[in-house]
Amino acid sequence: MFADDASGDTTPLYTIEGPTTGLDLPPQQYLYGIGHDPWLHRLMVSGTPNTGSFAANRLVIFTDTASGDATPLQILVGTNTGSSNLGTPFAVPADVIFANTIEHP
């Protein structure tokens, strides 16, 4: 996570990494996207295989204050995590990236 006013080669405020996170993916899989729900205070990270098989898709959900080797609140996996159910891609919402000081003090 970065500060709202971060720019350039900025050091993150904190990171989520380690074996407990559920973010260590096997070969042929990669992290696909990230989303933030400011109302529920959730950080969501999606992972997907490059094989096109929905069975290996995953959505890992943390509190938005998680850091270090954090334990996820939830991990969703399986064939029901395909793009028709969860949507593709997960991404940081544009209103967060392009926030203005009138709507987002």
How far apart (Å, rounded) are the C-alpha atoms in residues 21 and 67? Answer: 10
Residue-level pLDDT at 71: 97
Q: Note if the pTM is more than 0.75.
A: no
Report pLDDT digits (tens) over 93-104: 545 544 445 554
CB contact at 8 A, 14 and 6: no
Report pLDDT digits (tens) over 42-91: 888 887 777 666 666 788 889 989 999 999 999 888 776 666 555 554 55
Largest Cα span, the chain = 45
